[in-house]
């Protein structure tokens, strides 16, 4: 048996551990994926597979596609569906993996641990009437955006593969089915702790918190007040993450508490999109009719979600409820400072500023206000400043922008670093390209018709968005005029 397992491991590279499955069964249901009719590999992330220690050629075979579709369970896997809850648009509900199965945790050659999850793998006890399946378009969309986020240097879950199922699923019409293999530091969410606080015992809540600390914040696991420090660390990571979103114009679209990770990774690329014209009120999601998750509101929603985590952790923070609330509130009050610090540092870098000055905030705010007033493109404005081509910016020629350019150049001249160093800092901080919505739609339409070449070219361009290469130039162009605003959908 040992020789067989060694041979299997050497041929496939799967090296599973299943630490989540060792938690109390309150938190999951053992569940195999539902087999599909005719799995075929549509998109495969070879560099990611290699970094995970997986055998690329084996995964590209029919047997590999069978594993990535859930038709075949790899040696050592322990498939399960996770239980969690969440505030969805402010309303609390019981949730869980309604169309996803965690195969297990891959231990890489570098001894790192990553969840391997199949999304769209069939019904589970948490499906709530859904069919547990996913359509090809939304799975390809998650693949594109998550890999674009990785290229941008933003903490994110990643996409290993998309497999078509050979089956159709019923939505507004019949659509080709697909399964995405998602790779994550873990799938622990704020909603996992909300679930534990509502439906688990206090001891189970403690076990979950200890598990999360050991997995993501091992440096604090021996501290006496580790649960309070745990809350602080999650607050810091989310403040940093949301600041990074704001800096590139990313709009998540569905910041429910079940979509906020404990690890600080971006998760769930449903109705997300990137902003073209700068406007804090920008909303793309078809279901966000009140603008709860608008671009400019993301930091506020972040701290609101973290307050729900703090509420769940109260029994662990202090035996006295009143004292626990005070401790939690003190930590939550730090979010604004953490976010502002990360965002300002990022905005200074986008403007080529190495040091801090008191007037930096007005300098940044005045630029953003002008961009909003004149409907300037967010990404291309910073790209043109980086290339020293202000004439390409829609603001060019206005007295206010001319005055702003003088202030900015004077500000840069005051710092010790050279102009060349400032330009390099800007090139490293301002992406030349983002996954423009019209380019993503173009790639998805072609892929749905069997042509993946458009998507492959887009992924190549997005893999190094700071390259400022000739190949990227055509991807910087804006979409043509449209009679209606761009809308995204959940894809469920």
Catalytic residues: 258
Closest to 31 (Cα-Cα) out of 136, 135, 103: 103
Q: Are 488 and 271 in contact (CB under 8 A)?
A: yes
- CA angle, 423 then 426 then 427, to 5°: 90
CA distance 299 to 58: 43
Q: Are 390 and 396 in contact (CB under 8 A)?
A: yes
- The distance from CA 94 to its chain's CA centroid, rounded to whole angstroms, is 22
CA distance 237 to 265: 9
CA distance 302 to 239: 8
Helix or strand (DSSP H, E) at 82: strand 80-82
Which residue carries 């399960």 as its tokens?
Answer: 80
| Total length of the chain | 492
Q: Are 274 and 144 in contact (CB under 8 A)?
A: no
Q: Are 442 and 454 in contact (CB under 8 A)?
A: yes
């Amino acid at each position: 048996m040992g020789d067989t397992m060694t041979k299997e491991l050497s041929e496939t590279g799967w090296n599973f551990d299943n630490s989540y499955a060792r938690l109390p069964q309150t938190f999951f249901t053992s569940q195999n994926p539902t087999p599909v009719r005719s799995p075929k590999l549509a998109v495969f992330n070879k560099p990611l597979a290699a970094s995970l220690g997986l055998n690329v050629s084996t995964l590209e075979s029919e047997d590999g596609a069978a594993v990535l579709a859930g038709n075949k369970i790899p040696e050592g896997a322990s498939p399960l569906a996770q239980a969690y809850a969440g505030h969805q648009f402010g309303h609390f509900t019981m949730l869980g993996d309604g169309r996803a199965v965690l195969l297990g945790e891959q231990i890489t050659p570098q001894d790192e641990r990553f969840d391997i999850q199949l999304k769209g793998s069939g019904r589970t006890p948490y499906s709530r009437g859904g069919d547990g399946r996913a359509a090809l378009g939304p799975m390809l969309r998650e693949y594109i955006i998550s890999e674009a986020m990785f290229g941008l240097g933003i903490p994110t879950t990643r996409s290993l593969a998309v497999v078509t199922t050979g089956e159709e699923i019923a939505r507004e019409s019949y659509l080709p089915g697909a399964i995405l293999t998602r790779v994550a530091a873990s799938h622990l969410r704020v909603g996992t702790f909300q679930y534990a606080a509502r439906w688990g015992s206090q001891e189970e809540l403690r076990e979950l918190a200890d598990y999360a600390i050991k997995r993501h914040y091992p440096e604090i696991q021996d501290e006496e007040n580790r649960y309070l420090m745990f809350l602080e660390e999650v607050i810091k990571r989310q403040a940093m993450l949301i600041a990074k979103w704001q800096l590139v114009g990313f709009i998540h679209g569905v910041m429910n508490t079940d979509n906020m990770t404990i690890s600080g990774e971006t998760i769930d690329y449903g109705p997300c999109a990137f902003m073209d014209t700068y406007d804090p009120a920008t909303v793309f999601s078809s279901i966000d009719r009140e603008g709860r998750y608008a671009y400019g509101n993301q930091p506020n929603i972040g701290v609101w979600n973290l307050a729900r985590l703090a509420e769940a952790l109260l029994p662990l923070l202090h035996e006295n409820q009143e004292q626990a609330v005070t401790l939690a509130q003190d930590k939550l009050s730090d979010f604004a400072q953490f976010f502002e610090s990360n965002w300002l540092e990022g905005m200074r870098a986008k403007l080529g500023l190495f040091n801090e000055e008191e007037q930096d905030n007005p300098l940044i705010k005045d630029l953003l206000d002008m961009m909003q007033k004149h409907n300037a493109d967010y990404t291309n404005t910073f790209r043109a400043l980086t290339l020293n081509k202000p004439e390409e910016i829609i603001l060019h020629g206005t007295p206010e922008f001319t005055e702003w350019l003088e202030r900015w150049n004077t500000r840069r001249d005051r710092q010790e670093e050279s102009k060349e160093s400032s330009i390099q800092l800007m090139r490293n901080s301002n992406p030349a390209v983002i996954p423009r919505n019209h380019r993503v739609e173009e790639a998805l339409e072609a892929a749905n018709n069997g042509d993946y070449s458009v998507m492959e070219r887009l992924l190549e361009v997005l893999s190094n968005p700071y390259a400022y290469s000739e190949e990227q130039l055509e991807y910087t162009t804006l979409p043509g005029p449209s009679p209606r605003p761009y809308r995204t959908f959940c894809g469920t």
